[in-house]
Every structure is written in structure tokens, then in C-alpha cells.
Amino acid sequence: MSDSPNSTTTRHELLFLNYFRLAQALVYVGLAFTPAGMGWPHLDSAGLARLVAVVYLLFAIAIVSINHMTRALGWLAILGTLFVDIGAAVLAIAAMNDARIGIAMMLAVNLAAGALLLPLRLALFLAALATLGVLGRTLLSLPHMASADDRDVLESGLFGIAYFSIVVLCNVLGRQLRASEALAEQRSIDLVNLSQVNELIIRRMKTGVMLVDDANRIHQINESAWMLLGNPSSDQRDLGRVAPELSRRLYHWITSGKLDETATQLADGMPEVIPRFSRLAPNDDSLVLIFLDDTSLVSRRAEELTLSSLGRLSASIAHEIRNPLAAIRYSAQLLAESTDMNPTDLRMVEIINNHCSRLNEIIENILQLSRRERSRPETLNLGDWSHSFVEEYKQGNDLGADSLRVIDNSASPVVAVADPQQLQQVIWNLVQNALRYGRMPGESARVMVVVRHGEHGVPILEVIDRGPGIAPKVAAQIFEPFYTTHEYGTGLGLYLARQMAEANQAALEYVRVAGGGSCFRLVLTPPARIEPAV
């Protein structure tokens, strides 16, 4: 078939054909059983006419019933029913010659419906079959009909031409109709999808969006606006009750055309917003869009832009500082090698070297802040990796009385996916801070690197110390850039550690230890859940 039998258009066309066939059969019955006194039509074979009419009527009723039960017919079934239509029409013309024109015209409707439902080659085959049937019946009846002449042959030939023309025209129109229907259906699907996408975008927007009518009633509201209004109940649609200040500003904007751009808080505990208004149509206040810009998001974006600019500026300055700093350090080292130096001068040289090392550490942190290198994750056994890290750290740093050890009591290996170089930088930074600040007054630092499985088997790496811990107010800000409580700190260590953790799809958080101490917990990604780094 030129279209699926289950499509809406095909079902309608098939339903029309079946009901037309039923009406056609009723016409045959009416003609075949016309009272003899009427005189028209003259039945050349009354028995044949009535048999054809009754059988065709039963066939039409059966096809209508089948179509209602199955809702669809295959093209072979449709082709078979059209064969029956042609055969019944040819027999009806043979039995009721007076009604041949009307019967032949009704057969054209059957062929037209078939052209809509079937491929063009099959439709042309049916037209040829109908033409042969009508023309053959006329040619066969000429020797036996006293009133027959060449006009009957011409008439049958013209019907054949009409059959072919109708079939071609209906098939072309049917294809165009189906193409238009498919295009309209695709456009409808695209429109629905676009509407859903737009609705999802508006619902998930960080900016609050509301649609308010001229009666001050809220028609639509997205999630951000709902939260900024203090999570009102769904039945509260009066803007004057939900947000009186916003309603006042809307009225002021409509009446005066001036927008109050000062920040305001619409509900207790919610951030301040800056409302903006826009009409859906020019000079029409029946529907107004209200946009609520969260000032905290604006401040955060400004902070990110400032931080990015500051990072680039700091990196350029750090590059300029590096060369003279290297020269100072090299000169100090040459002075320290001199045999003529007294103890006081040696102490001064040591101070120069210490501050050069500190400046170099600051420069390295600033350069790391600006570089943000892409992670190259590998599968790591955290137990083996932690032991190697601790041994390497001890070899490169004199711990003195301080202690650094690994605790790995897991029954099975703790495996994670991370960039080993970036992971080493994160843990090195955490261990360095723990050894520096995680000690009680007058006591040695005791730092542990704990390897364990978390909930659902998530790999966890923890750096724990037994120091005084971090005050809650300070703990809330320790991961912010340039925040430090130490006079010689840069405030970039923990910030960089968290940035590198996030680059490896890990989470770094501070956990206060009961009984004193601090814990920096790094929740890594197991191998089965790793995603490509961006």
C-alpha cells in the first residue's frame, strides 16, 4: 500500500469505500427488485440481476463488519474487494443494460478509492480490468442486442478512458495528501517537543519567571520564582497576597512606566531579587511577564569574572617575579657557601632562602590557579598509592617528631579513577596543612591518611589530624580563594585542592572529628562510574 493501513487517513478512506460499497449494493438491490409495473429498468436477466444484487449486498455487509472488528485491512484484502466490485458491476450491467451508465459511474468511485489506497501500478491494473470488463461485455452483447450500435462501444471506451484518468489523478492527489499529512504530523510533533523544551528551560531557569494578568493573578510560575517567593501554596495565585512589594512595583511600572531597580527581599530567608517587567504585546497590560533576578547569582558571576581576571593578572605578575627571585635565591646560596661569613650573616642568608622558598610556593599556587590543566584519569589502588605517597613525602620532608602513617583496614582493595599527579597535589596540600596546623600546643603532629570504602562501595581517601580542629565559622570559608587565617598563607591551597578534585569528578569536604581534630574527606569515583573529562 502507498500508506500504512493503520494510519488515520487510510482508515477514513477505507471506511468511505466500504460504506459506499454498501450503498452501491443497496442500489443494485433496488434496481433488481423494482416492481414490473414501473417499466424501468428493463432486466435482461432478472434472475442474474437479483442474484448479483443479493450476493453483493451480503458481501458489502460482511466487509463493513470485518472492517469494524479489525480496524484495518491489508492491501491484498482491499485488492480482492475491488476485484469483487468490478465483477459485480460488470454482471449488473449485463443483467440490467438500461442502468449501465449509472453502474459504470458508480464503479468509477470504487476505482478512485482504490487509487487512494493502492500503489499506482495496482490501481492502473484495476482500471484496465474494469475497462476490459465494461468494453468486453459490450462487444459480446452486440450480436444479441437488436438496439445496440457503435455508440455503446464508444461509450464503453470513454468510460475506460475516464477510469484511467480518475485512477492517475486520485493516486497523485492521494500521495500529495499523505505527504502533507506526514509533514503536518511531523510539524505537530516538533511543535509539541519545542513547547516541552521551552517549558523545561523556563522551569529550570535560575531567573524567576512569572506570568501575571491584569487582575493581578499569577497564571504561570517557574521553580526559581516559586522559591524566591517563599514556596507559596499552589492555590495562592493573588500576587498582592503572595508578594505585596512585587505587586506594588508592578502597579507603579504599569501606571508610570518607571522601573524600580533596587533589590528587595520577597520572603523571609530568601535572597534579594531585582524585578523586571515586560508586556507580552505592545501597549497591552492584560498579561505581563515578571523576571526575578537573584542578586546572589549576579554577585557570584561577578566574583567568578573578577577571580578569572585576577588569576590571569596574577599569573603574568608571577612570571615577572620568578626570574629576579631565582637570581636572589642563587646569590644567597653562593653567599652561604663562603667561608668568610660570620654566624649573623649566615642567619641573614638563611632568612633570605626561607622567604625565597615561601615566595616560590606562592608563585606556584598562582600559576596553578591560572593553568587549570586537564585531568588524565587512571585506575588506582588507593592503598598502594597511599603507601607510596607517604614514603615519598617522608623522603622529601624532615618530619622530626611528627608522625605520618597510612591506615587501610579494608577487606578488599579500594580502587578509584583519578589523575595520579593531581591526586598527589591534593593530598600533599592536605598533609602539609595537617602537619603545619593540626597539632595541639607543645605537642607533635599526628597525621593519618585513611583509605576506606564508603557507602555503596564509594572509594574514600581521608587526611585526619589530632589538632584543635577548625571553628565552624572558619570552616564555612576555608575553600574560598584567598581566604586564610595564617599571616603567611596565600588562601589558595584548599581552593586549588577542591578545584583539582572536581576536575577528577571527586568531592572534597571538611568533616569535624569528634573529640578534637580535623578530617578532610576526598570522595573519589569508582571505575564503573567514571565519565570522560571535559
Closest CA to 414 of 379, 443, 390, 445: 379
CATH 1.10.287 domain span(s) along the chain: 302-370
Contact by Cβ (8 Å): 325, 356: yes
302-370 in CATH: which number? 1.10.287
What are the φ/ψ torsions at residue 151 (nearest 5 degrees)?
A: -65, -30
* CA–CA dist 460, 440 (Å, integer): 26
Which pLDDT belongs to residue 1? Answer: 45
Task: List the grid coordinates of 214.
Answer: 491584569
Strands 518-523 and 415-418: unpaired
Q: In what order do the strands lie in the sheet with 208-213?
A: 218-221, 208-213, 284-294, 273-281
Closest CA to 28 of 133, 102, 120, 131: 102
pLDDT tens digit string along 29-72?
988 888 765 667 778 788 888 999 999 999 999 988 887 777 66
CB atoms within 10 A of CB 285: 16
Which pLDDT belongs to residue 492? Answer: 67
Residue keyed to cell 569536604: 509
* CA–CA dist 421, 432 (Å, integer): 16
* CA–CA dist 497, 430 (Å, integer): 8
Contact by Cβ (8 Å): 63, 17: no
Q: What is the 3-state secondary structure (H, E, C) of 257-294?
A: CCCCCCCECCCCCCCCEEEEEEEEECCEEEEEEEEEEE
* CA–CA dist 452, 447 (Å, integer): 16
* CA–CA dist 118, 73 (Å, integer): 12
Which amino acid, residue 115?
A
467 phi-psi bin (left φ>0, alpha ψ -120 to 50, beta other): beta
Which pLDDT belongs to residue 534? Answer: 38
Q: What is the Rg, in whole angstroms, of the alpha carbon atoms belonging to the chain?
A: 45
Contact by Cβ (8 Å): 526, 457: yes
**In order along the chain (534 residues), what is the average pLDDT of each group of 10 residues?**
54 86 91 74 83 93 84 76 91 86 91 89 91 84 55 84 92 87 87 80 79 88 85 85 89 86 84 87 82 76 67 68 78 78 80 77 63 73 90 83 86 87 86 82 85 86 85 76 61 76 85 82 78 42
What are the φ/ψ torsions at residue 196 (nearest 5 degrees)?
A: -65, -40
Which pLDDT belongs to residue 423? Answer: 87
Q: 288 Cβ partners below 8 Å, 6+ apart?
A: 211, 212, 213, 250, 254, 277, 278, 279, 280
Residue keyed to cell 512595583: 249
Residue keyed to cell 608563585: 363
pTM of the full structure: 0.43
pLDDT tens digit string along 125-153?
999 999 998 888 877 765 555 444 567 78
- Any idea what DSSP says for residue 507? E
Which pLDDT belongs to residue 297? Answer: 67
Which pLDDT belongs to residue 154? Answer: 84
Angle at 502 between CA 499 and CA 505, to 5 degrees: 160
Contact by Cβ (8 Å): 52, 32: yes
Write the CA distances from 235 to 90, 210, 218, 336, 393, integer angstroms.
Answer: 71, 15, 10, 80, 63
CATH 3.30.450.20 domain span(s) along the chain: 205-297
What are the φ/ψ torsions at residue 487 (nearest 5 degrees)?
A: -65, -25
- Any idea what DSSP says for residue 217? B
Strands (DSSP E) found in 396-458:
403-408, 415-418, 446-453
Tell whether domain 378-523 is in CATH 3.30.310.50. Answer: no
Burial class (CB in 10 A: 0-12, 13-18, 19+), 53: buried
* CA–CA dist 427, 450 (Å, integer): 11
Which pLDDT belongs to residue 531? Answer: 45
* CA–CA dist 214, 406 (Å, integer): 68
* CA–CA dist 56, 138 (Å, integer): 22
* CA–CA dist 97, 104 (Å, integer): 11
Closest CA to 314 of 323, 322, 302: 322
Residue keyed to cell 576536575: 503
Task: List the grid coordinates of 505.
Answer: 569528578
Burial class (CB in 10 A: 0-12, 13-18, 19+), 118: buried
Helix (H) or strand (E) holding 471, with range, is none
CATH 3.30.565.10 domain span(s) along the chain: 378-523
505 phi-psi bin (left φ>0, alpha ψ -120 to 50, beta other): left
Which pLDDT belongs to residue 373? Answer: 58
CATH architecture of residue range(s) 205-297 = 2-Layer Sandwich (3.30)
